[in-house]
Amino acid sequence: MRVLGVDPGLTRCGVGVVEGVAGRPLTMLGVGVVRTAVDADLSHRLLAVEQGIEQWLDEHRPEVVAVERVFSQHNVRTVMGTAQASAVAMLCAARRGIPVALHTPSEVKAAVTGTGRADKAQVGAMVTRLLRLSAPPRPADAADALALAICHIWRAPAQNRLQQAVARHTVNATKGRTA
């Protein structure tokens, strides 16, 4: 499975591509950051994020795009920018028919470090170790994007089994009502 992880942000939108399957060594195919100027008009910043993500999609052809689920923060301005960048990433994927998976920051941290309360340094260290890199990706947004991709690769099999079980239960429950 090839996953493009997106750590959404207006100033720095982390992007990283990881390939592999759960239970096997993973391979990083690319990592970077889509940057926008803080003083640029919001519409131009969103356009720059869109163009950057489109380039990553063109170059790496992921099967899934994993995006960090926006969570409530005290700074409304920050959460709005994050939500807008997140929406751009989801739109780019949807336009191409690529499935989008959303993961919360605590899910990602727990998947790669074993604790949902890990700090950025711990996430960076584990991403470095799991992908056999010589140094942690910088800035932290890039490491977070790789962590999102890793999280999705590891969680997807269990999520798929759960979705299939729910679908079977729904079908069986529906059959029981119509019989």
Active site residues: 7, 68, 141
Report the C-alpha dihedral over residues 82, 85, 91, 92, rounded to 10 degrees.
-140
Cα distances (Å, whole numbers) of residue 79 to 41, 49, 72, 83, 118: 17, 16, 7, 6, 20
Reading the block at residue 113, the tokens are 């470090």
Q: Cα–Cα distance between 66 and 161 in angstroms, integer?
A: 18
Cis peptide before 105, with omega less than 30 degrees from 0?
no
Q: Are strands 2-7 and 12-19 parallel, antiparallel or unpaired?
A: antiparallel
Kind plus residue range of the DSSP H or E element containing 172: helix 140-178
